[in-house]
Amino acid sequence: MPSITSHDAWFAGLKALSQDNFPKRCRNCGREFASEADYFQQTQAIRPEITGLKAVYDDDDGPLVEVFRNCLCGSTLLVSCMSRRDDSAAGHSRRRLFDELLGYLARHGIERAQARVELLRVASGERSAVLEAWYGQIAAQGRKPGA
Kindly report, residue by residue over 107-140, the tens digit of the pLDDT: 888 888 888 888 888 877 788 888 888 888 777 8
Laid out side by side, the sheet with 62-70 consists of 14-16, 76-83, 62-70, 53-58
* Gap between the Cα atoms of 86 and 16, Å rounded: 17
Q: What is the pTM of this model?
A: 0.49
Question: What residue spans define the domains of the chain?
Answer: 7-83, 89-140
